[in-house]
Structures are given as C-alpha cells and as structure tokens.
Structure 1
Amino acid sequence: MTGLISYNKNPNVGVVARVNDNTALVPSHCPRDFSNVLEKDLEVEVIKTNICGTSLIGAMTVMNNSGILLPKFVYKKEAEAIKKSDLNVGILEDKFTALGNLILANDKGAVVNKKFTKGSIRAIEDVMDLEAVKGEIAGFGTVGSLGITTNKGALVHPLAREDEIELIESALKTDVDIGTVNRGAGFVRTGILANTKNVLLGDLTTGPEITRIEEALGLL
C-alpha cells in the first residue's frame, strides 16, 4: 500500500534516500520513524550513512539491484558502510558528483546525461550490469531527477517529449508514463522512493498523483 511520508517535515524524500528491492540508504542521523517505514513498507534492509559528508543520498548516488555508483569525493568510511550490502560498489571518477540527478536506471538499462564521457558510461555499465544510452527529459539532462523507474515501470516529467519517452522505454525496457508528485512537482524522483514491491511518496502528493504514480510503476 502506497504511503505518504516526509523527512524532518520535508516532502522531498527522494533527495535524502535511495532504495532498490533489497536495500535502502538513509542519512546517518535519519529519524528512526523514517527508516522504520522504509524497512517495513518497502521490505528492505536499511543502511545509515552520509555521502560526501551530506544527507543528499538520493541526489548523489544511483542504484539498481546489481550495483551502486558513488561520486569520487565519497568518504572512505561511507563507502565501507555501503560495502556491507551485497551490492557491487563503484566510485565514478568524473567531474559530476550529483550522480542521482544525472542517471536514470533500473536493472534492464540506463539513460544518462549527454555530458558523461565514454569512459564514465562504461563504468556505469560495468558497475550496474546494464547498457546505457545518452538522453534527456523535457529537454534537460538531469534525467535522474526528472524520472523514477523500477523494473516494472517508469514515471517522467509531464513535459517529456514523445521521442524522449520512446528512447527511455527502449533503454529501460519498460513502459513509461508522465506525471507529478508533491502537488505538481515535475522533478518526480525528488518526492518518490520506489521498488518493485511498493512506493513511498512525499506527503504533499495528491490523490490523482498517487493513482498515476502507482499505475506508472506497475503497482496497481
């Protein structure tokens, strides 16, 4: 059942956490009630750690069921905490650090910012065990914040063009729909934590938005 949550009264829950089907990463000082909801509703093991000394885990990392990519400025102790999971942990030696905003990925494929080098794209593919293509959503390169995906479906910004949606569907090998979260926000990943089992949404999300998100992510 879809739940509505906030993080310290902030509905942008997808900025501070990252989940797959088995694991959730939350900030080191995450409130217990927040981590408990993720553990119960998404059926995941919770790991507490910061990334690059910040709580912006969703913005700084990208993860599927095979691996997780961390920015090059990640602290050693943070990477070690994540390595306790079964994930393949990779550190991307690239000038870009907000990886979660620039990469949209499930287990079947990824769409990445066009400014990534060939070397970075190969690293993304190796760590996450997938094929990646360059793309945009609504004309912007921040595909990881403008979209959210699991292996069962994807949701993207309502201004995404048809050709962009077709590319995303081909890359992720799943259906894609458009929608918003948190009462009209098109940067949908910022307000959504989802895996193939369930979805948690920022607590400003409206009823029609909930239905659209559930349909897009294959949870109805």
Structure 2
Amino acid sequence: MFSGLVEAVGQLTATDSSKDAHARTLTINAPFAHQLALGESVSVNGVCLTVTATTPDHFQVECTPTTLAITTLGSLSVPSLVNLERSVTPTTRLGGHWVQGHIDTQGTVVSVVSEGEAHHVTFAYPQEFQRLIVPFGSITIDGVSLTVVHAEPGQFQVTLIPFTQSHTTLGSLSVGQFVNLEFDVLGKYVQQLLTPYVDNEKRSSIQ
C-alpha cells in the first residue's frame, strides 16, 4: 500500500527487454536506492513494482506484459523522470489516501490553465469509469494523491499547488500527455458490491 505522497523523483537510466520481448526491466536512479531490499514494493509513476536488483544509486524493477499494456511504463524512454514512493508502514502518517499501485486506466491531459501559482489540469478518461470519480474525492495520477475539483462525463479536473509542481513530475505536464490513473479503492469496492443489486432493480423495473 502507498499514500500517494511522492517521496522522490527518480530518473530512468536504462531499459532492457532482452530476457523477454514481452516484458521490460527498468533501471532507475533514486536517492533511497541504497535503502531498498530485494522483493520490496516501490511505486513508480503510481505502479506497484517489485525491486529485483539494487546498487547504491539505482534499483531495478520488472514490468510484465499486463503492466506494459495498462500503464504508461511501456512508453517511458531514457532519461524520463518518474515519481517514486516506498510502501507505507504501520507507523506512517497517511497524508494522502489509500493507494494500491494498481492502475485502472490511462488518462490524457486536455488542458493546463494557470491561475496565479496554481495549475488547473483537465484530463480525459474512459467514461466506463465515470462512477468512480467523485467531485472533491481522491484520485491518484502518476502516483500522486490529488483531489478532484470538477468532474463531468469523460473529463475531470485537479489543481496542482506549487509544491506538487516542483516535487513531482506533474509540474511539466503537457497537452496530449498520457498519465496513469488509479481510482479510490473504496469506491471500487462499493461499486463491485452494489452492482448486482442495481442490476436486479433494473431488471425488475423492466418487467
């Protein structure tokens, strides 16, 4: 589990698909690489990955075909910057929200509008996920816990404060860029639990 509070911005220094053409090994420079243990979970742009190798300055993770298909990690190239967060512990202050690191889909930047020091960013996303976006609810974008300030079918907006702009990769977002989206896990479970009852009501009303 993660909190969506980015711990550091790392840099992709190498990629390798030689072992498996359908998978990808990422080598990432990170300030806390020397503290990582093999098998530990790290969020890379919001994707929960397992540390498979370490050096004092770098760590490696493996991306499976499913990860490459669902997330933006398959399109990263050297020397891309990535948002990094180590998993939370029982004594960690939870300043963001519960983040699993399981990406639901990708979104696309529609617009970036500045208002003073703040950036209002609008994203497009597949409408099939519309019920999982709630105004002033939580959403994770490339591993960053943010608040939805406006939502409509197929689009939502967040506001980036200067700290978020300077301490994550979101400060350099541009129109047309793809991002990883993870919706609030609480909303996903509620939807899953209620769907059978909603479907039954619909069938009853038709009859």
Q: Structure 2 length normalisation: TM-score?
A: 0.30
Larger fraction in helix: 1
More strand by share: 2
TM-score by length of 1: 0.28
